[in-house]
Amino acid sequence: MPRKGAVHVDELPAAARKRLGLRRSRQQTFKREELRREAIGVLDQIRHLTADQRRRVLEHAIKVNEV
């Protein structure tokens, strides 16, 4: 429960947030259920691989994804 008189970070003006070294809260546009569905889809595509092969493929995909 928020304290009486407390102000949420998102309610502060940009200048005040900058002066205090605060950032706005992140807004999640990729919901948990969507994340779960996509992860299952990815694993479905590599289901024929062994667990070790899946791990290697996923680690390589993460490495390739780093820009």
> pLDDT digits over 27-45, tens only?
778 888 999 999 999 999 9
Q: Which residue has the higher pLDDT, 33 or 25?
A: 33
- Tell me, rounded to whole angstroms, the distance of Cα 51 from its chain centroid: 25
Tell me the C-alpha distance between 51 and 12, whole Å.
48
pLDDT of 9 above 60:
yes
Tell me the C-alpha distance between 50 and 15, whole Å.
53
Q: Name the residue ranges covered by the structural domains of the chain.
A: 29-67
Average pLDDT (9-34) is 82
pLDDT of residue 67: 74
pLDDT of residue 64: 95
Question: What is the 3 state secondary structure string of 8-38?
Answer: CHHHCCHHHHHHHCCCCCCCCCCCHHHHHHH
pLDDT of 49 above 70:
yes
The pTM of this model reads 0.54
